Structure 1
Amino acid sequence: MKNLSTIFGKDNLDEIVFSNRNKAYGAYVLRNEYSNQLTKALFIGTAFIASVSVIPFLISALKSDPIITELPTSGPVILKNVDQPDKPKPTPTSPVQQNIKTVENPEYNPVREVRKEKPLPTKKDFEGAAIGTETKPGEETTITVAPPATIPGLPTVAPYNPPTPQPAEDPNKLINQNEADVAADFKGGINAFRQKVAQGFDTESVGQDGMISAIITFVVEKDGSISNLKVNGSNSDFNSEAERAVKSIKTKWTPAQLKGKSVRSSFRMPISMKIE
């Protein structure tokens, strides 16, 4: 069955569709002008696409071609900075060797074939010599390894010597009062300590009259207590009573200070009394 549009045509078909209807309605006008509008849109779109495609060619045609200067093809091209003239290159100097006695210390590896090797250096050769890459005479030295060659004008790097480990300090080390930064002290001073000893001393226990003297020595510990108490004198009774009088004192000392720390320190005090 044939299409009605081929039989009646488009205009006839529009007339049939809008027969007995209000043709002033917009749909009738749109259908009549549809072909013309489609044709116009096609031409306008084609023209727009063509103009956009031509723009790059116009831009490239308006650009000026860069001026290319041909470089000489023969030989290498050297670029020079005209602002800074060429500086003469420093001529290398030969390394300066220290004129010291060195001894080569070769290493020998066992091989199947016996080869004629250099004789090993003797103990006498090593006396006053440093180990180097060759054996040569020179001034005797105490260093063990010869320093590397140096070039004048270049900084020299001293060989690395590991630091000598320091022995750990003994926390119970005993020092003399004169070695301490701050000497040990008794509350009220040494005279207050003497007075306490005299107050606790029982003279009746000493079987001798007259002036008797002795030397009291002890250690002031880090906590202020007293240890290693000794009394040396000619009268044993006096020595024993002086030792008892010192031990009866309960007041602690202020310990000595060394490098900001409390340390053990020895103390020496002479004592003398007149017993009647």
Structure 2
Amino acid sequence: MEQNIGKTLRLNCQLDPARAKALHVVLGCEGNPPKAGDPLPAFWHQIYFWDPLPEGQLGRDGHTAKGQFIPDLGLPRRMWASGALEFHAPLLIGQEAVKTSVVEDVQLKDGRSGPLGFCTVRHDISQDGQLCVTERQVLVFREDPAPDAPKPPLKQARQDEIRKVTQSFSPTTLFRYSALTLNGHRIHYDKPYAQEVEGYPGIVVHGPLLAQIMMQMAAETGELARFEWRNSAPFFAGEAGDFCAFPDCWQVRGADGRLIVEASATYR
């Protein structure tokens, strides 16, 4: 595992206004979409820095096959467990930017449901030689689910929010978000694969998409300096969820009361 630490990937990308306009529509944002010269909204860099590969270099799940930039830990299922963003300076739409990705840490642990693998990747995004965004992404890997495995206990979300927005996501929205982020993970659009191979009851909503909605809510309060989130349980297409604001955090709560995502923010 140690041989993977320090592995680096560098990508250049023009921050095309057309992609920002498309994400503006997919997210259902109000008003006019951002244009060339405007600051890129927080976390919208997810739709840039594509690294397309031939299908033969993809894994069974539609992602880039493990063992290339992301190490192969011998565990087939992957999820985005948590993320943290630091905003140093605005990224400007219409200009070229550079993303340098580094594998910072790789670990194997024993979980309640079996072995777990963790990979932490840091992304530094710069423009005109200035560091604009630092993002840390923690991926978790696990074995395929056993048919008779007991369901893990679900953490319950808070109920004392000061603001709530209820939202659901259609399969079409998930497909369009996958296309914009070049995310080939089949759990987000291939229902038979999601159910029969990875053991989910339906198509899974992207964790980053949920974080994006919470980030937009948080940005209404002030200019973000840092935003962190942790995924707690999967959320599914067609399911209604409550995006809740509290004085000290944000949460996404399922209709059954389960905690799906929890986030915190600091401001300038």
Q: TM-score range by the shorter chain?
A: under 0.3
- Structure with larger Rg: 1
Relative to its length, the structure with more helix (as a share) is 1
TM-score by length of 2: 0.19
Relative to its length, the structure with more strand (as a share) is 2
TM-score by length of 1: 0.18
